[in-house]
Amino acid sequence: MPQVVRSRIGALHGPSPIPPLPHRFRSLADRESVEVLHRAAQVLVASLPALTDRLVEALYAQEPAYRAAIDSDRAGVWQEVHHSLRHNVGSLIQPREFREPAHRTSRWIGEVRAEQGVPLDAVLHAFRMGGAMVWQDLVDETARRDPDDIRLLVHVAADVWNFVDEHCGVVADAYRQAERRQSWRRENRQRLMVAALLDGTARIADLAEAAEMLGLPEHGRYAVLAVAGGIGAGGAGPGAGAGSAAASRAGAAQYGPGAAARPPVALPAGAPGATVLWHPGPDAEFAILPLAGSSGELSALAAALDVPAGTRAGIGSAVEGLAALGDARRLAETALRTCPASGGTVLLDEHLPDALVVSSPALADALAHRVLGPLDRLDPADRDVIVETLTAWLDADGSAQRAGARLYCHRNTVLNRLRRFEQLTGRCLTRPRDAVEVSLALAARRLLGGT
């Protein structure tokens, strides 16, 4: 049977190649069938405006998804339908001439309707409605001219409906490609917006749009969680973090429902909600945590956080509003830098002295050298014993008894080591100022990698 109908016939569109019209027909009946089809199609071409009117009215009555589009822009829909019909009906008469224009029109309609959010089922239904209306008009015109020719028209019926199905495939393919492009653009905008919020570079004028796009309240309460791998995992070291969010824009990604990537840590069920947004950077991965505002919420989250072995997690202090997320990210990075190299979770609000130390490494190192420098003249093993005793005594709130229990030695041994430290350094551990300096110096050595 003739391949004369391979470009597209309804009120919509389609994108797959169509074989050229064969040079020969298999029988006289085939040739006569094509001639009958051509005569009827030529009448349809002459009455395209009326056919377009009828199809637009049918779409309005039978396809709810098109009703709003017709109400808002009837002239635009009419032009779209007319353009499609002109190329599709023309394809019945001159397939070579109209083939590519018909395909372009079908692809264009599929893309436009995807961008407008018209469901694909509705677009395909509209296309098939157009195909059915054209076929019925072909039958009616043939019967009006010569009822006996109906038997010849039947020979091309399969070709006509195969043509309709083919172009439905074209429309669906164009529609899905447009959907994928839209999805990529939407996700990319979200990634860029999350990056800007965490950088602290988002414009105030954009915050309302960001809130709507990300599903987060503009004036809500937030904290940021920073997560990095342990030793050898490429995680952030004590000196990392300055400007890291700005650098992270190049590799920004967002983990959300349906995303392929998996968050680096598991948040406890019900905290802080399903709207957590993850954003990986070069030194750490960040999560924006919406907070309910309840007392102890961050402490409970830190305690329940499921952190894999060797992974470090830092939770910054709470901030108010999306505009403050840049500050929240910097606080989370500070908390992360106070984590032990072996891994664990640090809540910044519970480690503020350590945060002071890592926030100014140069000053902290100078303090450690000033306070603990005299110990470096000792044998390393002897020095380490004194440092260990000082740390245990401070952790025991100044109790030699409890420090001795931790170190498996007598309390007098603890006191003797403390007195030796005072003699070597000129510090008095009963003087509050000296005790604070010693505590900070020990933290600097521990956090900044000193010996």
Per the structure, the complete domain to which residue 221 belongs is given by: 206-350
Mapped to the 3 state alphabet, what secondary structure does the chain carry?
CCCCCCCCCCCCCCCCCCCCCCCCCCCHHHHHHHHHHHHHHHHHHHCHHHHHHHHHHHHHHHCHHHHHHHHHCHHHHHHHHHHHHHHHHHHHHCHHHHHHHHHHHHHHHHHHHHHHCCCHHHHHHHHHHHHHHHHHHHHHHHHHHCHHHHHHHHHHHHHHHHHHHHHHHHHHHHHHHHHHHHHHHHHHHHHHHHHHHHHCCCCHHHHHHHHHHHCCCCCCEEEEEEEECCCCCCCCCCCCCCCHHHHHHHHCCCECCCCCCCCCCECCCCCCCCCCEEEECCCCEEEEEEECCCCCHHHHHHHHCECCCCCEEEECCCEECHHHHHHHHHHHHHHHHCCCCCCEEEEHHHCHHHHHHHHCHHHHHHHHHHHHHHHHHCCHHHHHHHHHHHHHHHHCCCCHHHHHHHHCCCHHHHHHHHHHHHHHHCCCCCCHHHHHHHHHHHHHHHHCCCC
* pTM beyond cutoff 0.75: no
Query: What pLDDT is recorded for position 155?
Result: 82
Query: 177 and 32 in one domain?
Result: yes
> Looking at 298, 316, 350, which one is the last position of a domain?
350
Residues of the chain with confidence (pLDDT) below 50: 1-28, 230-260, 273-274, 451
Whether 8 maps to a domain, the answer reads no
The answer on 147 and 36 residing in a single domain is: yes
Are 130 and 51 in a shared domain? yes
> Same domain, yes or no, for 149 and 223?
no
Residues 35 and 169 in one domain: yes
User: 299, 328, 350: which is the final residue of a domain?
Assistant: 350
Instruction: Looking at the structure, tell me whether residues 322 and 434 fall in a common domain.
Output: no
Predicted local distance difference test score (pLDDT) of residue 101: 86
Query: What's the pLDDT score for residue 270?
Result: 57
Q: Looking at the structure, tell me whether residues 147 and 38 fall in a common domain.
A: yes
pLDDT of residue 332: 94
Whole-number pLDDT of residue 2: 38
Q: Are residues 317 and 398 in the same domain?
A: no
pLDDT of residue 331: 95
For residue 253, is it within any domain? yes
Q: Identify the domain boundary among 166, 181, 196.
A: 181
Statement to judge: residues 337 and 400 lie in one domain: no
pLDDT at 272: 53
pLDDT at position 261 is 52
Q: How many domains does the chain have?
A: 3
Domain-located, residue 375: yes
